[in-house]
Each structure stands twice: as structure tokens, then as C-alpha cells.
Amino acid sequence: MEAPTNYNASDITILEGLEAVRKRPGMYIGSTGSRGLHHLVYEIVDNCVDEALAGYCKNIDIKIEEGGVVTIRDDGRGIPVDQHKQAGIPAATVVFTVLHAGAKFDSSTYKVSGGLHGVGASVGNALSEYLEIEIWRGGKAWTQRFERGRIITELVEQGPTRRHGTKVRFLPDSEIFSSPTFNFETICNRTV
């Protein structure tokens, strides 16, 4: 059989990395109970908090819907959408598909947090039935969708906007989290 086209070495690495997270979620988030579930939220929120500490973001909204869908929205600069030099895919896509992508984002001006928890947004992506991002940056809106860490749609430009910031919406995977419950107090009152 011929090798599929559009599939290169860096795609393979990405899938292997996130598959490892799904095989041993406890290694990355500690547990697959409520604590682990909270961990998914922290991983995203930590990046918003860094954006706020850097002085670019005033508001961080966290919404947990009845069915367990979580939305985290900030009004920061938005995750960069330009092509990541090494990966050859948009930086925002790298953040959600490459393990420990945070460390690679170091620069003199900004660092994406691996957070206190240190594993990054890709772990939350790997452990979600679906995860959607919406980015408002440089006068344009962008969206991308993933399912269980896999790219379903590329990062697509949606048109002009006056907004700036990032929205991440995800459904934690019921195959991974047994009967998890969210505790909003725990998420919002923790020490960062």
C-alpha cells in the first residue's frame, strides 16, 4: 500500500505524543477523577493568567455547561496564528497538538506557560472528545477543531473582527473520565 500523502514525520510525532497521553492519562494529569478533570481547566486558564500578568488581558471567563462542556475565554492578544518555524504549522496548532509546546515558545517577550502543572494545553486536547479554538488577533478571527487530539479542521480564517483574545471550548472525554464532576469553586479559588 502506498503511504498516504499529506502525512509527514512531524504529523506522526504529534499523533504519537498525544496517543501516549490517552494511554496513560494519570502520568500527565494525576488522575482521571474530578481532580484530573479540574487539571484540564487549569492548563488552559494558566495561559490566560500569564497573558493577564503580562498586562494584555483584562477578563478571563470560565463557563461550565450542564453537559460538561467547558469554555474558557480571554481578551488577551490571542494565540499567535503565524507558521511555527520548526513545525511548519500555525503556532496555535502547535500549542494544542505538541506535548510541552510551552517550553518551545520561550522568547524575550513572552512564554506560554507549561503552568504550575507543566504539561500544557495539548494534554487537555488529547483528553477531550472535541476541542475548538477561536482566536481573534490582528483584526481577524480564526477557528480550528480537534477530536481526541486529532486535527479535524485546519486553522481557518473566518473574517475581520475588532476583538482580540482566545476562546477554548472542549468536552472532556467520557472514555477517559469515569464519572467526573466539576467543582467551579475549586477551579476559581485555587492558588496560582
The nearer residue to ligand 0RA, 111 or 150, going by C-beta atoms, is 111
Asked if 166 interacts with ligand 0RA (CB under 6 A), we say: yes
Asked whether 74 and 48 are in contact (CB, 8 A), the reply is yes
Q: Cα angle at 95 between 149 and 61, to 5 degrees?
A: 90
State the burial class of residue 31 (Cβ atoms within 10 Å of its Cβ: 0-12, 13-18, 19+). middle
The nearer residue to ligand 0RA, 43 or 173, going by C-beta atoms, is 43
Asked whether 140 and 160 are in contact (CB, 8 A), the reply is yes
Identify which of 120, 103, 137 has the alpha carbon closest to the alpha carbon of residue 44: 120
Question: Minimum Å distance from CB 5 to ligand 0RA?
Answer: 31
Asked if 93 interacts with ligand 0RA (CB under 6 A), we say: no
Question: Minimum Å distance from CB 110 to ligand 0RA?
Answer: 4
Task: Name the one range near ligand 0RA by CB under 6 A: 20-28, 47-55, 144-152, 154-162.
Answer: 47-55
Question: Minimum Å distance from CB 73 to ligand 0RA?
Answer: 9
Asked if 48 interacts with ligand 0RA (CB under 6 A), we say: yes
Binding ligand 0RA (rule: CB under 6 A), the pick from 17, 25, 36, 76 is 76
Binding ligand 0RA (rule: CB under 6 A), the pick from 77, 84, 148, 169 is 77
- Tell me the sheet residues that pair with 165: 136
Binding ligand 0RA (rule: CB under 6 A), the pick from 32, 47, 97, 128 is 47
DSSP, collapsed to helix, strand or coil, labels residue 19 as helix
Q: DSSP code of 100?
A: T
Q: Cα angle at 81 between 80 and 86, to 5 degrees?
A: 90
Binding site for ligand 0RA (CB under 6 A): 47-48, 51, 74, 76-77, 79-80, 105, 109-110, 112, 166
